Structure 1
């Protein structure tokens, strides 16, 4: 075979670093974009925040170049980039020199936790031998807490400060966590050092919900793994004493090992009567499972009780707190800053970008001029071009978001006036065809981007949903159908709740064709219990 050399011309798209950056910026959330902007400001000297609110108008050449690059990015991304679940960047872009960076402060730090306490078996043994058993007070039993609202009171200490030394700002402190709340109840109690140390060891081992996942024996082995059998037995007995003491504290139910024990500890704080005794009998793992299914016949046979008495006991159990320590858990405030705001202009709604999230950047004019006059600036010219690309891609990102949001608002006009019932079916393909973009681009734009509406702040993906057929030949949005199901359940008779089949019949009467299993799927998505569990006598 004879070898030959041929010259052939062909065209193909290359995923340049600029296009890769454009795609990556589009799928970032607002917080992630702000972090990216801050990082670029630190690394690139040609990029600076526009503190003077200068916003140079883009030239026509730059705008045209941005549109050509956006089209190339769209074609290349549709052919070469696999869809990760969020959309591409393909909107027209214009290079703007002036954009100001505004950062969002992070959440406040929580209160510091108390230092960890280690209880050693040898220290316990030595202390127990030296202490007089008659001087060691016996901790109260869990049932001796008195009335339901009479838990162990928190001891307040003034710290010896006078009225003149009192600082009102000292009241503005972080919320007290569970462990600090329990330790405050140890203050003022006449306890031996060993009992106090055991109670603190139990408090340190509680989880955020107030449960003790380990038994006293397991906790003793973890605290002193090198001790012998006798030392571990003595330490385990000390921890059992400390556990009984902690279980007598407020909130009721803290220190339990399981849900059944947690409810029993709370019930023991209530006045004794027949309903409480039956509720105590219900607090076993098997009975609680039957109770969740409203299996009154099986419970009646097991406990020899009538259904009315069981229902009264069930109502008492339902008032208990299954997570007594949850209200003390420190939760950082999480706020969502909308990227787009829906505004009413005349009879219609339109989407406008939120100016608070627009990072305003510009090219450092002095550095750029010095580089232009420099003879040897090959190393810095790349950074200057990178800064220009970044400013252009950030602007392109927000233009794409605004275009997509406006298209969504135009198709969901009824939602802004009527709420969920006005939602219409919408899929990504409709918006992609209307704007001339790829479906993956729409997916990226609508992920972690939020729209502020009169009914709240929603992710753009919320406005997309499948449709159900109606008698008129049109289709109803699944979001609207779920809203109808929620309204029917809220208005039903508690003594005779609607079954999934009855809800399907009522929807059919309104012209919406839906199967019973579809109603069950939507009901479960709304976290609504079945009719058998919603029934109240």
Structure 2
């Protein structure tokens, strides 16, 4: 066959620096976003803090009576503090409880984040068991350094074979953060590249990551381009793409400090019988373009003007991406409020099954976007300050066309045990019958698993305790 040139038209998604910045900002918590904006102000002369006052919102404790106006889209921290104690479902009368925003948050470890995604996945019970073992073996930086054979030996018979372990591992590696569970740096980069479809130079970057990564520092771009017979500029772009990836995909969630404080990104309140959601004050961009420096661009030398124009474009990108982050977060929060209004009213007993896929389909977004949007985000509600991931739950079969969330079933079990006759505690079989009478059909082993996770002893042990 003779070599020939052929022109063709096509469309592709380009992973531009702006898009990578938008994705990174979306997954940052409020504290991390503030640090990011502070660094941007210090390094970019075209950015400055916007000290404008935020519109004062009415007291949410009175939002459900009268004809009060709806709260403004942005809430200040002082307003959040003012009503935190008064609407937490019976907890506001405790003068020593303090504001939940001032209490130390339970740190979310990397394992917590991965296990949550695992239980919301569509894997079978056996694959979930394998997934739990794999996730527990992942180190804080996101790497799996223990051999799969050794992990399989820790599981109950029948032991899974290597193909089963690899299948589940590949699913875990595509959880958020992408690339977690990789066994080498090369594998971590390749997994991240595999999710960036239609990105220019992706195939070449993946070839370099899989075949030449260890030799790249020694060879350099020029020698590597000569060795693999690729244009130097293409190799340079591929290497730049590799450098934009995360070499330690689990480090952001793995390095947890006990001094982490809850900073709510969203405020949820009830007004005239309807649940509403709005961004907190720090969920809004508090930066603006420095008009003084911007006005100097037409009157400076070409070199200085180019410097200012570059930073002006970067500032505009940042402001646009921060605004897009807030809009996406607000859309997700409003969807959660609409789908889980019973949870806000009744607690765990009202929690309905809800997955990332369902929210993504409703909002027209990707599942990974939803996962990034809720990672490390909290909502101030009348029931307290809750992580957004608390609004998601896996489901179990019920006697109706709908499913009941596992959290709701656990709440029902807790209530049944609390109301039982201490002299005749309910056995697991009796609990199954009581749940079935309430329209929830679950297996006895499922009830036993939920009872143990709640720390409730068996019926025989409860008799002894009584």
TM-score range with shorter-chain normalisation? 0.5 to 0.7
**Distance in 1 (alpha carbons) for counterparts of 2:340 and 2:20:** 32
How has the CA–CA distance of structure 1 residues 340 and 100 changed in structure 2, closer, same or farther, with 3 Å as cutoff? closer
TM-score w.r.t. the length of structure 2 is 0.53
Determine whether 1:492 maps to 2:413: no
**Distance in 2 (alpha carbons) for counterparts of 1:473 and 1:8:** 51
Structure 2 unaligned segments of length 5 or more: list them. 56-73, 79-256
CA contact (8 A) 1:428 1:439 kept: yes
**Distance in 1 (alpha carbons) for counterparts of 2:77 and 2:290:** 18
Aligned-pair CA distance for 1:381:
2.1
1:368 alignment partner, one of 294, 303, 307: 294
Q: Mark the structure with the bigger radius of gyration.
A: 1
User: 1:46 maps to what in 2?
Assistant: 46
Aligned-pair CA distance for 1:100:
13
**Distance in 2 (alpha carbons) for counterparts of 1:450 and 1:482:** 23
SS of the equivalent of 2:389 reads helix
Aligned-pair CA distance for 1:432:
1.1
TM-score w.r.t. the length of structure 1 is 0.46
**Distance in 2 (alpha carbons) for counterparts of 1:443 and 1:333:** 24
User: 2:465 maps to what in 1?
Assistant: 536
CA contact (8 A) 1:41 1:48 kept: yes
SS of the equivalent of 2:325 reads helix
Q: Deviations over 1:142-169 (max 9, x none)?
A: xxxxxxxxxxxxxxxxxxxxxxxxxxxx
User: 1:455 maps to what in 2?
Assistant: 383
User: 1:526 maps to what in 2?
Assistant: 454
How has the CA–CA distance of structure 1 residues 489 and 407 changed in structure 2, closer, same or farther, with 3 Å as cutoff? same
How has the CA–CA distance of structure 1 residues 102 and 516 changed in structure 2, closer, same or farther, with 3 Å as cutoff? closer
SS of the equivalent of 1:425 reads coil
Aligned-pair CA distance for 1:357:
4.2
**Distance in 1 (alpha carbons) for counterparts of 2:418 and 2:378:** 29
Aligned-pair CA distance for 1:7:
3.1
How has the CA–CA distance of structure 1 residues 524 and 40 changed in structure 2, closer, same or farther, with 3 Å as cutoff? farther
Aligned-pair CA distance for 1:43:
1.2
Determine whether 1:431 maps to 2:359: yes
CA contact (8 A) 2:75 2:280 kept: no
User: 1:4 maps to what in 2?
Assistant: 4
Residues 171-182 of structure 1 correspond to what in structure 2 (within 5 A)? none
CA contact (8 A) 1:101 1:358 kept: no
SS of the equivalent of 1:353 reads strand
How has the CA–CA distance of structure 1 residues 347 and 52 changed in structure 2, closer, same or farther, with 3 Å as cutoff? closer
Determine whether 1:16 maps to 2:16: yes
Residues 78-157 of structure 1 correspond to what in structure 2 (within 5 A)? none
CA contact (8 A) 1:49 1:362 kept: yes
Q: Deviations over 1:41-66 (max 9, x none)?
A: 111111110113499xxxxxxxxxxx
Tell me which moved more, 471-480 or 342-351. 471-480
User: 2:430 maps to what in 1?
Assistant: 502
Aligned-pair CA distance for 1:405:
0.5
Aligned-pair CA distance for 1:477:
1.8
**Distance in 1 (alpha carbons) for counterparts of 2:269 and 2:312:** 38
User: 1:95 maps to what in 2?
Assistant: none
User: 2:403 maps to what in 1?
Assistant: 475
User: 2:227 maps to what in 1?
Assistant: none
How has the CA–CA distance of structure 1 residues 404 and 2 changed in structure 2, closer, same or farther, with 3 Å as cutoff? same
Determine whether 1:342 maps to 2:268: yes
User: 1:29 maps to what in 2?
Assistant: 29
**Distance in 2 (alpha carbons) for counterparts of 1:533 and 1:359:** 56
User: 2:307 maps to what in 1?
Assistant: 379
SS of the equivalent of 1:492 reads coil
User: 2:279 maps to what in 1?
Assistant: 353
SS of the equivalent of 1:350 reads strand
How has the CA–CA distance of structure 1 residues 54 and 531 changed in structure 2, closer, same or farther, with 3 Å as cutoff? closer
**Distance in 2 (alpha carbons) for counterparts of 1:2 and 1:429:** 48
CA contact (8 A) 2:46 2:308 kept: no
Aligned-pair CA distance for 1:356:
4.2
User: 1:404 maps to what in 2?
Assistant: 332
CA contact (8 A) 1:51 1:100 kept: no
CA contact (8 A) 1:343 1:351 kept: yes
CA contact (8 A) 1:100 1:361 kept: no
Determine whether 1:389 maps to 2:317: yes
CA contact (8 A) 2:76 2:280 kept: no
**Distance in 1 (alpha carbons) for counterparts of 2:75 and 2:418:** 48
Aligned-pair CA distance for 1:3:
4.0
Q: Deviations over 1:198-244 (max 9, x none)?
A: xxxxxxxxxxxxxxxxxxxxxxxxxxxxxxxxxxxxxxxxxxxxxxx
Structure 1 unaligned segments of length 5 or more: list them. 56-98, 104-330
Aligned-pair CA distance for 1:422:
1.7
SS of the equivalent of 2:396 reads strand
**Distance in 2 (alpha carbons) for counterparts of 1:341 and 1:23:** 23
